[in-house]
Amino acid sequence: MVDLTNSQIIMETIIKKQSEDSEMKYEDYFEIYSSMQILKDKDINYSDAEYSRVGNGGDGGIDTFFTFLNGELIKEDTDYSKNSKNNLIEIFIIQSKTSKKFSESSVVNLNETTRDLFNISRDIKVDEEIRSRYNIDLIKKVSLFRQIYLNLMQSFPEVRFNYYYSTLGEDVHPNVIGKKHPLEATVKKLFTGSKFNFDFVGATDLLELSRKVKNTTRSMELSESPIATSSGSYLCLVNLKKYYDFISDNNDLSRSIFESNVRDYNGSVIVNDAIQKTLRNADQEFWFLNNGVTVISSKATLSGKTLTVENPQIVNGLQTSHEIYNFFSTIDTPIDEQRNILVRVICEEKEDARDKIIRATNSQTSIPPASLRSADSIHRDIEDYFKINGFFTIDEKISIVMKENLYQKLYQSLF
């Protein structure tokens, strides 16, 4: 009998106890537990992991299946129509076994399943051979990925396949490791240009992941000394690249810091296209043309020009943040970024006060397109014509009304 390691004993005890508390079978709970630990940085919760389970017969060696689009977990009811121009599709395929070793056959099985289900030329929803071999939950999850990929194919999305084989084992035999290479060849043959990753997760790895606490404290490097208030809030200028680092986790956009934002990312709309255009044009300071972002924090500490922010929540500026992330995440070569963004860091612990700030910073008066046209050169010419012909000699209020009415009529006739 082989003696178990401390990590194996600890993990087995923890998972058995938690499975009893959740009234689930030990093997079933291990699938959820593994997924939540492996994808801890993706901000998934228990219900997300349970939704993604496809095991229990006819699973082709896949126990949980996740599809992420631009960092967001995709489900059947997810609206992904508001996609960016540079889309990233990530697939996480996890096999979780409570055995104390890693087997070659499990990796071989994943290769066969990949070859069957990811061949887009086969309609897996109606193919009788596929339906007889694989369960309906797995077919639905893979079909969802295929649907997203086909809908976004014209934008040439980046596709990353991430495979994980999790057990309560420790050492992985070289023969088992070698079986992942045919799987990589299969993936890259089916999806040219895709990226591939395969990790073996043992008991020690799971124990380290379970002890890992998601970082809720972030540091922001400031361009200049900020304006500080007596209550501990700050008005700051932050280099655009440093702000990108603040909102990113290992080059992935951190979704957790946007949880309190009442809005959603709107994708390629007029305002966001304008922000992206400003980012690409380095001739003028970014914060001159952008309102900036508002961050609520329980506490912020300044040391030199580094601001450490505890439990940050971006409550205003989500569109700007997404566009900054999209801009820097697609740059192939480093640039010497000199521009800044205006960041307001408000320290407030009271829940009702935080809610008031969220409502206030997101209550914006809608400006009709006709009003924005008043900044066009043609309207500057009209104002000059008014001055020449004495329109500005009448009462100022009447003049303003006349101008606004004229702008509306001109806008309707010209546009």
54 close to 63: Cβ distance less than 8 angstroms: yes
What CATH number does residue 204 fall under?
A: 3.40.1350
Q: Which two tokens stand for residue 35?
A: 């997924």
The mean pLDDT value for 45-50 works out to 90
Residue 1 lies in a domain: no
What is the pLDDT, as a whole number, of residue 395?
45
The mean pLDDT value for 361-379 works out to 54
The mean pLDDT value for 88-108 works out to 95
Q: Helix, strand or coil for residue 231?
A: coil
Structurally, the chain folds into a number of domains equal to 3
Neighbours of 404 (CB within 10 A): 13
Residues 229 and 127 in one domain: no
Residue 382 lies in a domain: yes
Query: What is the enclosing helix (H) or strand (E) of 217?
Result: strand 217-221
pLDDT band with cut points at 50, 70 and 90 for residue 100: very high
**Of 146, 180, 211, which closes a domain?**
211
Task: Output the average pLDDT for the chain.
Answer: 85
Residues 49 and 63 in one domain: yes
Residues 23 and 68 in one domain: yes
What is the pLDDT, as a whole number, of residue 249?
80
The mean pLDDT value for 150-169 works out to 93
Of 261-265, 285-289, 309-313, the one with minimum mean pLDDT is 261-265
At 413, the amino acid letter reads S
What is the pLDDT, as a whole number, of residue 240?
96
Q: What is the tens place of the pLDDT at every residue in 71-93?
A: 889 998 877 765 566 789 999 99
Of 217-221, 231-235, 403-407, the one with minimum mean pLDDT is 403-407
Instruction: Please state the separation of Cα 117 from the chain's center in Å.
Output: 26
Give the contacts of 263 (CB within 8 A, at least 6 positions apart): 318, 319, 362
Higher pLDDT, 367 or 313: 313
What is the pLDDT, as a whole number, of residue 354?
67
Neighbours of 84 (CB within 10 A): 21
pLDDT band with cut points at 50, 70 and 90 for residue 215: low
Q: What is the tens place of the pLDDT at every residue in 379-413?
A: 656 666 666 666 654 444 444 445 555 555 555 55
Residues 298 and 170 in one domain: no
The mean pLDDT value for 114-125 works out to 94
What is the distance between the alpha carbons of residues 292 and 320, in angstroms, rounded to a whole number? 7
At 21, the amino acid letter reads D
Residue 273 lies in a domain: yes
Q: Which domain holds residue 260?
A: 217-361
Give the contacts of 389 (CB within 8 A, at least 6 positions apart): none
**Of 185, 211, 237, which closes a domain?**
211
On whether the pTM is more than 0.75, the answer is no
The mean pLDDT value for 91-97 works out to 97
Q: What angle do CA 141, 49, 90 make, to 5 degrees?
A: 55
Share of the chain above pLDDT 90, in %: 56
Model confidence at 117: pLDDT above 50: yes
Phi, psi of 25 (to 5 degrees): -65, 145
Residues 64 and 176 in one domain: yes
What is the pLDDT, as a whole number, of residue 182?
97
141 close to 67: Cβ distance less than 8 angstroms: yes
Model confidence at 368: pLDDT above 70: no
Residues 202 and 223 in one domain: no
Residues 45 and 145 in one domain: yes
Q: What is the tens place of the pLDDT at every residue in 184-211?
A: 999 999 999 999 999 999 999 999 998 8
Closest CA to 172 of 130, 204, 127: 204
The mean pLDDT value for 300-309 works out to 90
What is the pLDDT, as a whole number, of residue 369?
52
The mean pLDDT value for 290-312 works out to 90
Higher pLDDT, 259 or 392: 259
